[in-house]
Amino acid sequence: AQSVTQLGSHVSVSEGALVLLRCNYSSSVPPYLFWYVQYPNQGLQLLLKYTSAATLVKGINGFEAEFKKSETSFHLTKPSAHMSDAAEYFCAVRYYRDDKIIFGKGTRLHILP
């Protein structure tokens, strides 16, 4: 079955440190890939999306993600964490000829002062 896996339900990083949130998808055909963020008491907001135009995708708030076909991965990174980055992050995928987006289980990011 097609799926998306996020490694780590909770990740803690110190303020100013590198943020790395992992996402792997299962497919032999590169899909469309997304990262969404949910801040407390808010809806899901799109951070960035991969649409095959470029393997390195830049998003909002300094986040970026790199599509690696050989590793079937789409990890999210940010060079320097800020306290305001504390939220839950969801990797999501849409496969060709399918209208629905499939989400991972989410990773809650904690920022340590």
Partner 1 sequence: EAGVTQFPSHSVIEKGQTVTLRCDPISGHDNLYWYRRVMGKEIKFLLHFVKESKQDESGMPNNRFLAERTGGTYSTLKVQPAELEDSGVYFCASSQDGTSGAGELFFGEGSRLTVL
Residue number, 81 or 93, with CB nearest to partner 1? 93
CA 27/CA 82 separation, integer angstroms: 33
β-pair partners for 38:
44, 88
32 touching partner 1, by CB under 8 A: yes
Q: Residue 12 is inside which H or E element, if any?
A: strand 10-14
Report the 3 state secondary structure along 56-68.
Answer: EEECHHHCEEEEE
Q: Which is nearer to partner 1, 50 or 78 (CB)?
A: 50
- Does 27 contact partner 1 by CB under 8 A? no
Least separation in angstroms between CB 44 and partner 1: 4
Single out the residue of 58, 82, 105, 110 in contact with partner 1 (rule: CB under 8 A). Answer: 105
Give, as one character, the DSSP assignment of residue 18: P
> Taking CB under 8 A as the rule, does residue 30 contact partner 1?
no
